[in-house]
Amino acid sequence: MKKKILAICFVSTLVFSSCKTYLTPAISGNNMGYMARPMAAEEHHTKIYVTGNYAAAMSPSSPVSFEMGMLNVHRAHTYKAINFSYGFFGYLGEARYGNSTETPETGKPTDIPAFNKQIGGLGLKTSIGYHITSGNGNTDFRVINWENSIGTEMGSYTDFRKALFNNQVYEKLYVSDKNTVWTTGLSTEIIWHARKNVHIQHAFRVFFGFTPGLSSSFDRELPLSELGRSDNWVTNNARIANSFSYFLTVKRFSFSCEAAYNINTACKLSLGYAF
């Protein structure tokens, strides 16, 4: 299963790949996961959700990959037209890179040596939104939601990025020194329950947002002549954050899957329980 998820990320990131190596924050792309909330038709409108995740991601240069386990805990409230949730998350995992260093005629190595380093972090998440319920009561249209995630990254991979920031030894290395990642944006969602069973629910959610300061956190810009684009690659793409989620709940248990992009191309599978 892990190999399949990484393969999906790899195929997706080929679209954005170049000959460069990007050392990006590991959590980028996986920090805006789905936050479950009770439906208006449910008996209990306040719940606590505990979710475990397997998350994978790749930086724009596909050899840099991330794998992590995540734990999310949040409390959610649903009222007649308003819903909101708040909680925290933590993650542990590894950052890997497998390319060997080559030295061109200039005498400078073009790439960093292979590495396998630890990643970890803690963060907070919030969501508040407006919803309307269908006439028959089995569908909630969560028309617009404002979502936020802020987390601090730690571990040997973060230390490695900081040590290489502004390092001019490697010709094709682009490093972000950002270790506090705040992503904000808007989402829209539809969630419905089975006609005769409110405890079986399906949902689809789309999120669009951005991560302030991510595009400017890199130690250098990508030369335009190497891509032939009208604007800098990092500036254009690091500011974008989007994700698509599917959510299923059966009584107190839930499952979700997500594909996301925020300079890293990311995928996530989640299992949860509601109290």
Higher pLDDT, 220 or 115: 115
Residue 23, pLDDT above cutoff 80: yes
Question: pLDDT tens digit string along 255-274?
Answer: 999 999 999 999 999 999 99
Measure Cα distances from 64 to 44, 87, 161, 176, 182 in Å: 44, 29, 13, 14, 22
Q: Could you tell me the two tokens for 269?
A: 């599978």
197-215 average pLDDT score:
95
> Residue 248: is its pLDDT beyond 50?
yes
130's tokens: 């407006």
- Is pLDDT above 70 for 5? no
- Token pair 């399906």 is found at 202
Mean pLDDT in the chain?
A: 87
The number of helix segments (H) and strand segments (E) in the chain equals 3, 12
Q: Which two tokens stand for residue 243?
A: 């994700």
Whether the pLDDT of residue 198 is over 60: the answer is yes
Task: Domain of residue 177: give its range.
Answer: 2-274
Q: Which residue has the higher pLDDT, 216 or 153?
A: 153
Whether 119 contacts 26, CB under 8 Å: yes
Q: What is the pLDDT of residue 195?
A: 85
Number of domains in the chain: 1
Asked whether 108 and 171 are in contact (CB, 8 A), the reply is: yes
Q: What single-letter amino acid sits at 116?
A: N
Whichever domain contains 62, its CATH number is 2.40.128
The yes-or-no verdict on residue 227 having pLDDT over 50 is no
How many CB atoms within 10 Å of residue 6?
17
